[in-house]
Structure 1
Amino acid sequence: MKITQVETIRLGEFPNILWVRLHTDEGLVGLGETFMGAEAVEAYLHEWAAFKLLGTDPLQIEARNRDITGYLGWRGSGVETRGNSAVDIALWDLFGKAANMPVHTALGGKSRDAIRIYNTCAGYQYIRSATNQTSSNWGLANNNGPYEDLQGFLHHADELAESLLSEGITAMKIWPFDPAAEKSHGQYISHADLDTALEPFRKIRQAVGGKMDIMVEFHSLWRLPMAQKIARALQEFDTFWHEDAIRMDSLDLLKQYAKDCQALVCASETLSYKWGFKDYLQTGVAGVAMLDLSWCGGLTEARKIAAMADAWQLPVAPHDCTGPVVWAASTHLSLHAPNALIQESVRAFFTGWYKELVTELPKVENGMISLNDKPGLGLELLPDLHKRADAIVRVSKAA
């Protein structure tokens, strides 16, 4: 089997998502996906990666990853890594289809049939535009359905927690400290802003007590002194994990942060490849290894990271607040990896716009997620998606 075409697809309506399809001479097509900077990733794939992939065997996944790893861009989650991650996911999809087995079986089989989810409390339009991870891109002005959960945690977190529990979802992630961080670039939080940001935690605990695990997302916005201050203020609420409380450019600082944090230290969707996670694990304060398949190097690197974390007796929790293909691929990893803890999911996404893009989705029922047993990832882009008026399709072919 040989790769004959590298195809990329992006849509004007979803400017952060890029899909990659690897076509072969045997008619099989592998599907991958990445998120953020879609146009730049597209350029990288066609100008650099495609000609290292065309004419090669897609089943030799390790060799293909080696060949598209360049002199630069292999350490962080930049354009090269995001592009290579999408390619790797597509290679695993192809492998599963060629072997007539789901990806979780190709990885070595399931460790479980279903895994618990937590709800990332975003709304339908969350991070929809290409203006990056800021509160201006939260989509708060919209009301597109019953799951505007970002508005929920900001204004009626008690009702939101009760709604999630009614669906069997026993964990939720919120980020009420971000607006204060944006005011001061993470340097300062006033007593008034701290009190405002703590209100959702008070409401959740008053409404449902300890029935709900609360994950706190900080989006790497805080400098160490204020991150520590916030950690101390959160101690009374028994939060489950604190995710990316500081920027992950100096991992040793997590040792200082951990002294004030009673929750699990969780990092980081922004780290890439096993080397980045090795440095995190070696701090001695890691609690959860949070990886994003579309930013860390794909399934190939993710399963190595999971195995490495397992040697530290630590769990992995795949990140996903991106697109439906990465969500499905992450679920394959979560069902496979023995030390997978929980799978991130966004009910506003998987009950909403994900259905506008792909043929099938993982099944969420009573707070648990599971997969079909179709070959590969078990889903495809909708047949006419590439024909949409806002679709930008680019193809590189073998000479």
Structure 2
Amino acid sequence: MKIDRIETLRLAEFPNLIWVEIVTEDGTRGLGETFFGASAVEAYIHDWCAPRLLGRDAMAIPARRADLKDYLGWRGAGVETRALSAIDIALWDLFSRVHGRPVADMLGGRSRDRIRTYNTCAGYRYVRGAQGQRVANWQADAAEGPYEDLDAFLTDAGELAQSLLDQGISAMKIWPFDPAAERSGGWDISADELKTALEPFEKIRKAVGDKMDIMVEFHSLWSPPAARRLAHALRDFDTYWHEDPFRLENLGDLREYARHTDALICVSETLPSVHAFRDYLETGVAGVAMLDLSWCGGLSEARKIAGMAEAFGVPVAPHDCTGPVVFATSCHFSMYAPNAMIQESVRAFYTGWYRELVDGLPEVSDGMIAISDAPGHGVSLHPDLVGRADAVHRVSTNFDGG
């Protein structure tokens, strides 16, 4: 089945999201997605990728990935890798739809029918309209809905924890240290800032005891010495994992960090390939391999990462705090990967703005996620999105027939 057309779509309301659809000669579509630098990814897809894909066999996914290998960009998580990730997701979706089976089945079969989820406590505006994920973009909007969880973990984390438990969700991720990191550049935290940042942990434990697993997100904002100080400060709260305590230019720094915490070390959606995850696993302190399908090279690369992590005895936990297509595809991947431990989700997203964009989302119920038997990853964009006033829709076509 030859690729006849490649389409991209982005919306000004969601400036970091971009969708790519790969369309074959018979009209079958595969949908992919990535996040950050949407206009740059769009240009790369149409200027570099499209001429190398149009007229080629969409079913030969490894061959199409080989077509896109470039002299530059293969070691980082830049535009090249993000574009490849979105295209790979679209190719797997198309491949699965042609065969009438879910992605989870086409990857090799399911390891489970449901997987535990944790709630990343973002709010409705965390991505919508935001060019970045800095503190300035944390604004709450009570009119959006009942799950303004970012504001909740800052103000009444105990009540938030109980709300999640009432829905069967027994794990949550918070990041109360970010304001101090932004103020100091990650070099220092004052006594008052530390006291304020620890209050959510105190409230959670007071309200629900050990019924809630608490993941700590550091967003790679801290210097290694400051991160070690925070690890000591958190020891009394029995935190579940510590995620990206500092930028991972030197993965070997994690060995020293591990000496200061009993929590699992979790990295990182920022690692771009199986080779980067090999370096992480070889530190000997890897607790969780968190991969992002839209930043690591797509499902093809994720499958290699999971297999390698399994050989090291390390679980994977797919990242999701971006868009609905990656969320759905990650859920399929979590059903497939034998060492998938837990799947990230954001209830403000999957009950909120995700539904404004797509149909066919996975079901989240009683703290677990399940997928349907719909072919592909099951998600499709609302057809009216292309006609929106803030839409940028671009098409590359195989005019010469390949």
In structure 1, what is the equivalent of residue 353 of structure 2? Answer: 353
> How far apart, CA to CA, are the structure 2 residues paired with 1:97 and 1:198?
47
- Write the letter of the residue equivalent to 1:285: V
**What is the TM-score normalised by the length of structure 1?**
0.99
- Write the letter of the residue equivalent to 2:210: G
In structure 2, what is the equivalent of residue 364 of structure 1? Answer: 364
> How far apart, CA to CA, are the structure 2 residues paired with 1:330 and 1:248?
23
Q: List 4+ stretches of structure 1 deviating above 6 A.
A: none
In structure 2, what is the equivalent of residue 309 of structure 1? Answer: 309
Instruction: Show CA shifts across 1:314-347 (max 9, x none).
Output: 1000000011000000000000000000000000
How far off is 1:139 after superposition? 2.7
> How far apart, CA to CA, are the structure 2 residues paired with 1:321 and 1:170?
18
Q: 5 Å matches for 1:104-253?
A: 104-140=104-140, 143-253=143-253
> How far apart, CA to CA, are the structure 2 residues paired with 1:310 and 1:98?
30
- Write the letter of the residue equivalent to 1:34: T
> How far apart, CA to CA, are the structure 1 residues paired with 2:249 and 2:121?
26
The RMSD of aligned alpha carbons is 0.9
- What is the DSSP-based 3-state SS (H/G/I as helix, E as strand, rest coil) of the residue aligned with 1:294? coil
In structure 1, what is the equivalent of residue 378 of structure 2? Answer: 378
Deviates more, 1:142-151 or 1:362-371: 142-151
Q: 5 Å matches for 1:281-296?
A: 281-296=281-296
**What is the TM-score normalised by the length of structure 2?**
0.98
- What is the DSSP-based 3-state SS (H/G/I as helix, E as strand, rest coil) of the residue aligned with 2:44? helix
> How far apart, CA to CA, are the structure 1 residues paired with 2:299 and 2:347?
23
How far off is 1:143 after superposition? 4.1
Is the Cα contact below 8 Å between 1:357 and 1:385 reproduced in 2? Answer: yes
In structure 2, what is the equivalent of residue 278 of structure 1? Answer: 278
- What is the DSSP-based 3-state SS (H/G/I as helix, E as strand, rest coil) of the residue aligned with 1:373? coil
Is the Cα contact below 8 Å between 1:227 and 1:246 reproduced in 2? Answer: yes
1:9 has 2:9 as partner:
yes
Is the Cα contact below 8 Å between 2:287 and 2:315 reproduced in 1? Answer: yes
Q: 5 Å matches for 1:42-53?
A: 42-53=42-53
Aligned length: 399
- C-alpha change, 1:152 and 1:130, in structure 2 (3 Å) is closer
How far off is 1:128 after superposition? 2.5
Instruction: Show CA shifts across 1:125-157 (max 9, x none).
Output: 103234322111223355411100000000000
In structure 1, what is the equivalent of residue 103 of structure 2? Answer: 103
Is the Cα contact below 8 Å between 2:124 and 2:141 reproduced in 1? Answer: no
> How far apart, CA to CA, are the structure 2 residues paired with 1:140 and 1:262?
33
> How far apart, CA to CA, are the structure 2 residues paired with 1:122 and 1:281?
29
Is the Cα contact below 8 Å between 2:125 and 2:141 reproduced in 1? Answer: no
Is the Cα contact below 8 Å between 1:34 and 1:294 reproduced in 2? Answer: yes
Percent pairwise identity: 63
Instruction: Show CA shifts across 1:55-84 (max 9, x none).
Output: 111111111111112111111111111111
